[in-house]
Structure 1
Amino acid sequence: MKKILVTSLVAALYSSVAVAENPIKMDDQSQLSNIQAVNESTQYHQPPLEKDLPDNAYGEMVRKGHAIFVDTKNQVPEYVGNGMNCVNCHMDQGRLANAAPLWGAYPMYPAYRSKNNKVNTYAERIQGCFQFSMDGTPPPADSEAMTALITYSYWLATNAPTGVSLPGRAYPSVKQPEGGYSIERGAQVYADNCAFCHGADGMGQKVAENYVFPPLWGKDSFNWGAGMHRINTAADFIKANMPLGKGNSLTDQEAWDVAAFMNSHERPQDPRLVDGSVEKTYEKYHANDGVNLYGQEVNGKILGQGVQ
């Protein structure tokens, strides 16, 4: 039964991530209204539906932004250096509360970010995702791809207040367990809960050339500069959203352990590498960047060397 269910899920996911030359249908979420109403204690922002889009240039740009968001590698290959799509970290087409939805991000910019010690526009925030999570090249601020992604975000944030941190905006914080984390325990959590979709080797699963389940480490995953390389950030995401369709089924300890296991593997180098030195890069960018293993020795190897 489990195999049949996940096989069906793979097919459903792949059907929504079509190759670039085919139109990508935006899912209408109205049929999920009864599910959204289950948690009545939290009123999340409800983004509009595709049926409400105007039939004009604005509607076309929103649809283009959606297509790029869910099928990034195929739609804008010139900006993507790995096998990731935006939707891998911002789930349900960027709509899902507690999975960094776009409707929670757009109204909060411009904003100061300690990561680059400057006030960032929303375009610069998106550029950072391409540089780190996509291990690629940031689209120019005036490019059509950037305009489309910003327009899609703006549309999802319809009627959301500006400068207000909305419920569900981020991944809910999961405090580090008193006993810390265990990479060894995380390996078992991964085998029991994650390997079926992401593979025993963490390299994800493909249909043809497209990933339907993203790689969690290795050359096609996010690089050492991405926020998800932080164990605490990964634990927050995993706790709320993983395994797929079973968010909040892992304990806090399991979320931290499996996040540590995931991030104890090598991945593409931090593009901010200082003088070719992992040690210098650690001191400048990672020493005070949450809980992470960059530059640390794990299983006899110093992490952060990068993979090609």
Structure 2
Amino acid sequence: MRMLLPTLLLLATGTASATQAPIAMDDQSQLNVPGSQATPQFAPPSENDIPDNAFGKMVREGHALFVDTRRLMPEAVGNGMNCSNCHLDQGRLAHSAPLWGAYPMYPAYRKKNDKVNTFAERIQGCFQFSMNGKPPAADSPQMTALSVYAYWLSTKAPTGVEIAGRGYPEVPQPKGGYDFARGQQVYREQCAICHGDNGEGQKVAGEYVMPPLWGKDSYNWGAGMHRINTAASFIKHNMPLGKAGSLSDQQAWDVAAWVNRHERPQDPRLVEGSVEKTRLKFHANDGINLYGQKVEGVLIGQGSGN
């Protein structure tokens, strides 16, 4: 399992300490990927390989839901996100949590809900947290289509084997921690052109074409991307769009911290209306995150309005 540092220690300068011993996280979304820096050996099938039959029709339906989730599943999505915002190139791209790397690894235990999850249950978690919405039923037509699409992308992939390119390869926290001011500068220079000066994303004809990174239409405080270490790994290997790998490890951590110091929808697991109780139960040992911490005197995790 990937080794993650415990809850951060904020310094007066806005820089995190990296001196504490690491802890293990039993969470499938945080698995260390052996050989993740190597060229992936698995290639998913191409669109031309979709069969012209009932199965192929279901694959195409799943694909459509995956790339246009918010518009096609408004009852299940509570923000401005699509599945393809975190799983790039229609769920195909290595080092971007591709579906072909995830599907063959389920069923699997996840610490997040302390149970063995089916793949359908894993997708339901994405709807609840990353999409800030209402998970569709496991036996719903939409869930079936999304699962079939993932199954098809993993055609000929080994079962229960971590394939190179799976997940978001870990980017170790820099020795000096992270810095919000540096992160803000990186954001202005590298990210704002797509995601907006205030993380609001971009819309065309009322629909998001670039996802919001904070605020009411972004992922909520329960999503895996709220962890600074997870966001840094995604950013390092996938952003800026078209220039993956161009940021240093330090820049990736700095800008991830800057993004995740902003408010977003509340964690749906909120305990008795208390940020502190929720922090202790769900966030205190969940990688590097700011939930329930004070930054420049402001409590983080109060949630943005809907």
Pick the TM interval, shorter chain.
Answer: 0.7 to 0.9
Q: Larger % of helix: which?
A: 1
In structure 2, the residue matched to 1:72 is 69
User: How far apart, CA to CA, are the structure 2 residues paired with 1:135 and 1:44?
Assistant: 34
In structure 2, the residue matched to 1:230 is 227
Cα 1:110/1:200, change in 2 over 3 Å: same
**Are residues 1:249 and 2:258 paired?**
no
In structure 2, the residue matched to 1:90 is 87
Instruction: Give 2:263's match in structure 1, choosing from 261, 266, 273.
Output: 266
Asked whether the equivalents of residues 79 and 139 of structure 1 are also in contact (C-alpha less than 8 Å), the reply is yes
Stretches (4+) displaced over 3 A: none
Q: CA RMSD for the aligned pairs?
A: 1.0
**CA shift digits 1:282-302 (9 cap, x unpaired):** 000000000000001123211
User: How far apart, CA to CA, are the structure 1 residues paired with 2:65 and 2:259?
Assistant: 27
What amino acid is aligned across from residue 41 of structure 2 in structure 1? Y
Asked whether the equivalents of residues 44 and 97 of structure 1 are also in contact (C-alpha less than 8 Å), the reply is no
**CA shift digits 1:185-212 (9 cap, x unpaired):** 1000100100011011110000011111
In structure 2, the residue matched to 1:136 is 133
In structure 2, the residue matched to 1:174 is 171
Q: How many residues align?
A: 269
User: How far apart, CA to CA, are the structure 1 residues paired with 2:50 and 2:187?
Assistant: 41
| 1:219 counterpart SS class | coil
User: How far apart, CA to CA, are the structure 1 residues paired with 2:39 and 2:265?
Assistant: 38
In structure 2, the residue matched to 1:210 is 207
**CA shift digits 1:110-138 (9 cap, x unpaired):** 00011111100000000000000000001
What amino acid is aligned across from residue 292 of structure 1 in structure 2? N
User: How far apart, CA to CA, are the structure 1 residues paired with 2:211 and 2:90?
Assistant: 15
**CA shift digits 1:221-247 (9 cap, x unpaired):** 000000000000000000000000101
Q: Which is further off, 274-283 or 52-61? A: 52-61
In structure 2, the residue matched to 1:108 is 105
Give the TM-score normalised by structure 1: 0.86
| 1:83 counterpart SS class | coil
What amino acid is aligned across from residue 233 of structure 1 in structure 2? T
**CA shift digits 1:48-72 (9 cap, x unpaired):** 1121111111111000000000000
**CA shift digits 1:125-161 (9 cap, x unpaired):** 0000000000000110000000000000000000000
Asked whether the equivalents of residues 171 and 240 of structure 1 are also in contact (C-alpha less than 8 Å), the reply is yes
The residue correspondences of 1:1-308 to structure 2 (distance < 5 A) are 42-308=39-305
What amino acid is aligned across from residue 140 of structure 2 in structure 1? S
What amino acid is aligned across from residue 211 of structure 1 in structure 2? Y
| 1:222 counterpart SS class | coil
User: How far apart, CA to CA, are the structure 1 residues paired with 2:124 and 2:242?
Assistant: 29
| 2:45 counterpart SS class | coil
**CA shift digits 1:240-267 (9 cap, x unpaired):** 0000010110000000000000000000
User: How far apart, CA to CA, are the structure 2 residues paired with 1:169 and 1:46?
Assistant: 12
Cα 1:239/1:55, change in 2 over 3 Å: same
**CA shift digits 1:23-65 (9 cap, x unpaired):** xxxxxxxxxxxxxxxxx95233111112111111111100000
Q: What percentage of aligned pairs have identical amino acids?
A: 71
Give the TM-score normalised by structure 2: 0.87
Asked whether the equivalents of residues 109 and 163 of structure 1 are also in contact (C-alpha less than 8 Å), the reply is yes
User: How far apart, CA to CA, are the structure 1 residues paired with 2:48 and 2:85?
Assistant: 24
Point out where structure 1 has 5 or more consecutive residues left out of the alignment: 1-39
What amino acid is aligned across from residue 256 of structure 2 in structure 1? A
